Amino acid sequence: MNDAVDAHISRFVAAFGYPFTSTGRTVATFAFAAVTYALLILSSFPTYSMQMLTTDLGYLDEAIVALTANTYQSVGAVALGLIVVYAVLTGIALTTAIGRIRHAGGTSARGLSSVLPGLLASGCASCGAGLLGTLGFVGALSMLPFDGNLLRLAGLLLLVAYLSRLGDPRRCTIPSATGGE
């Protein structure tokens, strides 16, 4: 049991460190994180974002700043912090996932299949706020426990679980008793 936990922790640390092993990976990680943050923030008020951006993409910065302020004022610093952490972790997960696909030869169906579910699951959990708004559940997020912070936390935990399973994509790991590779 302890060995399995230790293995997960060491794989998480390895996956977490991988994006910072070269300048290119670091830049890619922050670029992914920035795009993820923008998408998450814009999805907090999708109709507003759509109206602004379909008129002029130049409104992108204004929309992000306005919705960041709105998120902070309406659901607080903790929620905004969770979104930022989620965006950074997604950047790490994407860079690590790409590394895994590249090191596996680029055509590994198994590699892809292990990458996509984690990202999709965590993405759905995190963008629930935007989806709820889009589907018409007005104020649904404010009715969720802790203003939807549990939903955001669930997305974060899924990402952490995903990274702790992935490890350093440059290394093959021995399958553990818990099913990890």
Nearest approach, Cβ of 34 to another protein (angstroms)? 22
Identify which of 90, 75, 166, 82 has the alpha carbon closest to the alpha carbon of residue 122.
Answer: 90
Among 76, 108, 112, 180, binds another protein (CB under 8 A): 76
62 is a site residue for another protein (CB under 8 A):
yes
57: left (phi over 0), alpha (psi -120 to 50) or beta: alpha
181 is a site residue for another protein (CB under 8 A):
no
CA distance readout (Å), 162 to 54, 83, 86, 101, 167 = 35, 17, 13, 15, 9
Q: Which is nearer to another protein, 23 or 47 (CB)?
A: 47
> What contacts 114, CB < 8 A, 6 or more positions away?
100, 165, 166, 181
Among 28, 39, 60, 66, binds another protein (CB under 8 A): 66
54 is a site residue for another protein (CB under 8 A):
yes
Query: Which positions lie near another protein, rule CB under 8 A?
Result: 45, 47-48, 50-52, 54-55, 59, 62, 66, 69-70, 73-74, 76, 133, 136-139, 142
